[in-house]
Amino acid sequence: MRHTGTPRRLGYFSTSLPKAGELFESQEPCPMHSHTRKHSSKPPVPNGICITHSGASHDWRSSACKTGMLIRVEKQMKKSTIATGERRHRDRGRDVAMPNLVYRADDRRRLVRQFDESIRSMPYLSVAFGLYWMMTVLFLYSPFLFDTHDISGFAPPSIGTVTACSSVATYFVCAARFRRFAGLDGKKWFFTALGTLMTFGAVCFALSIAGIFSNDFRTFLALSGLVLLGVTTSLACLEFGRIFALIGQRKVLFHGTVALLSGSLGALIIAPMPPIVAAIALALLPAPMVACIAKSTASFPRARILSQGADSPVHIPRRFLVTSAIQGLALGVMHNLLSGLTSSSVSLSSLGLCIGAILLMFTAVVVMQDFNTLFYRVGFPIMAVGFFVTSFTPTSPIAGSVILDAGYCYQYLLSCCLCAYLAKSFDQSPIWIIGTSTGCLLAGQLAGSTLASIISNTTSLAFLLAFALPLSALYLFSSQNMASGWGAIRPGDIESAADTIEEACRIAGSENGITKRELDVLMLLARGKTRKEISAELHLSEETIKTHAGKIYQKLSVHSKRELIEVIEQRAKSLT
């Protein structure tokens, strides 16, 4: 006998109760009666549902039966709700932007160990990126050291405008022709030519402010040097992008933090010096920077670097490009607002760069926030606060400049992490990703500088940006992308087990004197590949692979492939 209705109070539990017409008989006794129902081949009904059998019917709406039924259903639903909530939280673990603060001692030790091993495995990358940061961001794209009015006969356009224009053109051309650029980049003479041209551009610029030539020739030297610096530093940035795409966003965050801290501290030392001394320092930086880039690149198979995303269809990360353009707009206005700072003020405001790098490390790795939160709930509001403070203290913008520098550094390093993630996870060319995003950033900077030069009341402009940045962040951080796409990814997470195995191989190689070619073989052996498969992938004979494998076994003190895999897996576990 089927029930013809359902108690209203049970409507709250409708998702767990059988629908009308699906109730069936069971041998389970009624909770308030002693009779037993007729057996049925169907599975038993949920506990607490009283069903009468034919010939022994009673009023299931009776007070006693209903009370017992509700008590048991409520207990069952409470357990079900808790279990469902736990599953939902577990399944949505990556989508819910909940703080995951590293507070246990073993977690802190593991984090420090991961950071240390990541830096020690590729020290040249941190050195190269630190020199790049000090050279480009502090010397060329910021108003810190060189004032164009010191160059007689060459006031407009500003130094930042010249370098930004040449860089924008370079980024967009390379992004549009990234497959052909890979062929040029693969030449053996590429790094030598890059370092030579960058040094020559820095020397030309240093000579232009030395005051030993006529004004016309000084203007020519300054323009030539700045154009060369804009082009070559852009090419260097694209090389960093290739490496970043291989190591992933977490290691980019580690290396970027060290690089930005060291580069900012170097700027603090150079800022109080006369412009000619700073220009000489600028001329001395390209050679070691390019050498360190080449050294970092040499730790990867060249074919692997050049083939990244070469055959994949390109995708346009529209939201990221809009974010970069807004960042650049704020940077251009900031450039104009802070152009009157003295060298002592520059030294103080540069501390904001260090604060930004440390803050990103804390929010991304320690608190484990996702890209959406880091960009739109932390980075944009920091810059908005900086503009707000600057608008109220136009005569003494030091406090505002510290906050603006922190926000800019925060956003810049975060963008590097996102570029690494997009290139690696979606098999996109890093030249395409870095070229389009950085090109939009610098194009926005040009627009911001132009806007600030047109509007005479910079205080009102800063006040306007203080409200425009949070509004733009609110638009970009909409409900449609809040828990999907790249915005839900946490840059502090380890990307995958394969990435951990690769990192463990690199650390083991650096500790045991394994050569570059042996490291390539080790990574494939650790993944369980056979000699024939490794031979086909590396284009080497099987006898050569056998020789390399024997040397690897000897250096790692193992006697078989199984032992090698166990050693690498054990080392990989320590990284997670």
The pLDDT tens digits of the residues spanning 499-549 come to 678 777 877 887 788 888 888 899 889 888 888 889 888 888 989 999 999
Q: pLDDT value at position 77?
A: 46
150 and 246 both lie in a single domain: yes
Last residue of a domain, one of 469, 488, 507: 488
464 and 559 both lie in a single domain: no
Last residue of a domain, one of 57, 89, 121: 89
115 and 83 both lie in a single domain: no
Q: Give the C-alpha separation, 261 to 263, whole Å.
A: 6
231 and 320 both lie in a single domain: yes
**Class of residue 82 by CB neighbours under 10 A (exposed 0-12, middle 13-18, buried 19+):** exposed
Amino acid at 129: F
Residue 389's CB: how many other CB atoms inside 10 A?
A: 19
pLDDT band of residue 130 (cuts 50, 70, 90) is: very high
Question: CB-side exposure of 179: number of CA atoms within 13 Å?
Answer: 6
370 and 238 both lie in a single domain: yes
504 and 483 both lie in a single domain: no
Is the model more confident about 254 or about 348? 254
Is the model more confident about 159 or about 36? 159
Residue written as tokens 């839900």?
A: 488
Q: pLDDT value at position 340?
A: 61
Is the per-residue pLDDT at 267 higher than 60?
yes
In a domain, 554, yes or no: yes
480 and 501 both lie in a single domain: no
User: What's the CA angle centered on 50, arms 48 and 54, to 5 degrees?
Assistant: 160
* Maximum mean pLDDT: which of 71-75, 84-88, 251-255, 486-490: 251-255
Instruction: For the chain, give the percent of residues with pLDDT over 70.
Output: 72
List of residues 6+ apart from 363 with CB closer than 8 A: 369, 373, 374, 378
292 and 214 both lie in a single domain: yes
Q: pLDDT value at position 40?
A: 42
Average pLDDT over residues 417-426: 88
pLDDT band of residue 45 (cuts 50, 70, 90) is: very low
Q: Give the C-alpha separation, 31 to 64, whole Å.
A: 9
Is the per-residue pLDDT at 168 higher than 50?
yes
Q: pLDDT value at position 349?
A: 65
Amino acid at 57: S
The pLDDT tens digits of the residues spanning 329-350 come to 998 888 777 766 655 556 666 7
In a domain, 96, yes or no: no
Nearest to 65 by CA among 24, 107, 30: 30
In a domain, 266, yes or no: yes
**CB of 229 within 8 A of CB of 163?**
yes
Q: Give the C-alpha separation, 355 to 358, whole Å.
A: 5
Residue 27 lies in domain: 8-89
Is the per-residue pLDDT at 134 higher than 90?
no
Mean pLDDT, the chain, rounded, equals 76
Q: Evaluate the CA torsion angle 327, 321, 165, 270 in order and state its sign.
A: positive
150 and 249 both lie in a single domain: yes
Nearest to 355 by CA among 403, 416, 412, 399: 403
213 and 341 both lie in a single domain: yes
- Give φ, ψ of 5 to 5 degrees: -155, 175
Is the per-residue pLDDT at 153 higher than 60?
no
In a domain, 440, yes or no: yes
In a domain, 112, yes or no: yes
Q: Give the C-alpha separation, 214 to 156, whole Å.
A: 18
In a domain, 61, yes or no: yes
360 and 254 both lie in a single domain: yes
pTM over 0.75: no
User: Could you tell me how far CA 77 lies from the centroid of its own chain?
Assistant: 42
In a domain, 143, yes or no: yes
How many domains in the chain? 3
Q: pLDDT value at position 19?
A: 40
Q: pLDDT value at position 123?
A: 92
Nearest to 383 by CA among 326, 341, 452: 326
Is the model more confident about 302 or about 178? 178
User: Could you tell me how far CA 399 lies from the centroid of its own chain?
Assistant: 28
DSSP-derived secondary structure for 9-20: GGGGGTTTSPPT
528 and 476 both lie in a single domain: no
In a domain, 415, yes or no: yes
Q: pLDDT value at position 413?
A: 93
Q: How far is CA 196 from CA 123, 187, 215, 294, in A?
A: 23, 15, 26, 14
DSSP-derived secondary structure for 311-328: TSPP---HHHHHHHHHHH
Q: pLDDT value at position 428?
A: 87
Structure tokens at 62: 């009776």
Is the per-residue pLDDT at 286 higher than 70?
yes
**Class of residue 201 by CB neighbours under 10 A (exposed 0-12, middle 13-18, buried 19+):** buried
